[in-house]
Amino acid sequence: MLKKSSFHHFSSPILNPIIFYSYRNDSASSNIWLKRQKDDPYVKKRNETGLRSRSAFKLVEIDEKINLFRKCLVAIDLGASPGGWTQISLDLMKKRNKFSPQISPFVIAVDTREMEAIHNVKFIHGDATDEKIIPEIKNILQNKGPVNVVMSDMAPNFSGDHFRDHIIQMSLASSSLNITKNVLEKGG
């Protein structure tokens, strides 16, 4: 992140105020990250399309290869915040399927971090590793039908301790599998 000392304020009658960012007082890793973000074509594409995350384009590529959202009406997005996968999954479900006007694709999004509302999405602010999430998901599904796709982009906050981070990542994968076993329709 940029430090306060790296902000340079500039004022002019036409452009007031403008903040220029300097990389000189930041750590080398921050500078590398900022440069990578500035040059990343997916970040640019995300900004142009209004998607919430650049990772949404990964999901589009997966769908193009395996038709993930073909015949999909209900999906679950684990680790959903900020909502890029949720947004694009709804778009892909509409694109891949012909729904009657009374039927709309639906996503249940789960995350420990808050997420801005999206139409046809039920957000659960909770931890997917908590066993209480499965009954909550099943309760929402009572009126929605079977789940066709469960997707997860969950990741731990990496500590730098590779062993610890690996254990947490495996726990998240195990929780994703447990949720999938409990809610995914046969053949989903």
Three-state DSSP at 2 gives coil
State pLDDT tens for residues 3-30: 433 333 333 344 334 444 444 556 777 7
**Cis omega (within 30 of 0) for bond into 105:** no
Which tokens go with 98? 């012909």
Residue 113: pLDDT band with limits 50, 70, 90: very high
Whether the per-residue pLDDT at 37 is higher than 70: the answer is no
- Segment 66-91, tens digit of pLDDT: 999 988 999 999 999 989 899 999 98
pLDDT-based confidence at 41, cuts 50/70/90?
Answer: low
Residue that the structure tokens 């890793």 belong to: 29
pLDDT confidence tier of residue 132, bands split at 50, 70 and 90: very high
> What φ, ψ does residue 123 adopt, rounded to 5°?
-95, 130
Amino acid identity of residue 21, one-letter, is Y
Can you name the residues that pair with 147 across neighbouring β-strands? 184
